[in-house]
Amino acid sequence: MTIPLYEVRNISKKYGSVVALDNVSLQIHAGEVIGLVGDNGAGKSTLVKALSGAHQPTSGEMYLEGELRSWKSPHDALEAGIETLYQDSGLAPDLSVSANVFLGREITSPGILGKMGFLAQKKMDHQAHADLEAVGIAVPASNRSVSQLSGGQRQAVAIGRAVAWASKVIILDEPTNHLGARQAGEVLQIIKRAKQRGLGVIFISHTLPHVLEVTDRIVVLRLGKVVADAPTSTFDAEKLLGTITGLIETA
């Protein structure tokens, strides 16, 4: 067995008396797409926040490439190569597309301008456009402000930003929400390309045909517990739905 790219063991998370995650373990390997599914409130976004360093789990461990790691902040996880698109993705509407792509990692010009903290605006516009194009996202001019984009275009920028920066793991929490059929199809293509690049992808969605199409393995959460973790080929739509709702009992 190869060492998993990213692994969580026995992660629990309590919010006061609410047990959002109860002893959750999962592994993801390089070049693998995991579907993480479950009903509203099952704990998916809570797990994402633990994986991405946004929240500290109450207990449990995380291993990146076999090494025990813990994240004090999302920045720690980003530095380690883990990119996350949160369910309510945070783009800054008043900033340009390229400023959003580079948010928190702005390029500064070398020399005196750089020392004074000026940003290499042209370079970022150009690079942002190239990065988005490389992951298959056609956005209008990257110097346009995000507030001038449609909801779907904003979502595309958020996805492109995450995929472009990820070096190891990318976590997408409901990335196809609010997207039309064609754009949702494009997101699925982006996921397939990220897999080909050798990234580990965690894809969260309530759209089960998308999950069945694009994933290698599916992990089902119910009331904070993993109730199924099996190759996608062992599910069909009916079995997956039954496992999510609890109509089909699993071991």
Binding residues (CB under 6 A) for ligand ATP: these are: 15, 18, 20, 38, 40-46, 87
| Nearer to ligand ATP among residue 41 and residue 242 (C-beta) | 41
**How many other CB atoms are found less than 10 A from the CB of residue 241?**
14
Nearest approach in angstroms of CB 13 to ligand ATP is 8
| Nearer to ligand ATP among residue 20 and residue 190 (C-beta) | 20
The per-residue b/e assignment along 213-226, b for 16 or more CB within 10 angstroms, e otherwise, is ebbbbbbbbbebeb
| Contact partner at residue 40 from Mg ion, ligand ATP, none, CB < 5 to 8 Å by partner kind | ligand ATP
Q: How far apart are CA 25 and CA 108, in angstroms?
A: 41
In the list 27, 45, 215, 243, the residue contacting Mg ion (rule: CB under 5 A) is: 45
Q: In the structure encoding, which two tokens stand for residue 25, read together?
A: 């373990």
Nearest approach in angstroms of CB 131 to ligand ATP is 28
Nearest approach in angstroms of CB 146 to Mg ion is 23
Q: How far apart are CA 166 and CA 201, in angstroms?
A: 10
217-222 vs 33-37, strand pairing mode: parallel
| Nearer to ligand ATP among residue 41 and residue 136 (C-beta) | 41
> Please, which residues bridge with residue 219 across strands?
36, 229
| Contact partner at residue 103 from Mg ion, ligand ATP, none, CB < 5 to 8 Å by partner kind | none
> By CB under 5 A, what part of segment 77-106 binds Mg ion?
87
Q: What share of residues in the chain are helix, strand, coil (percent, to 5)?
A: 35, 25, 35
Contacts with Mg ion by CB under 5 A lie at 44-45, 87
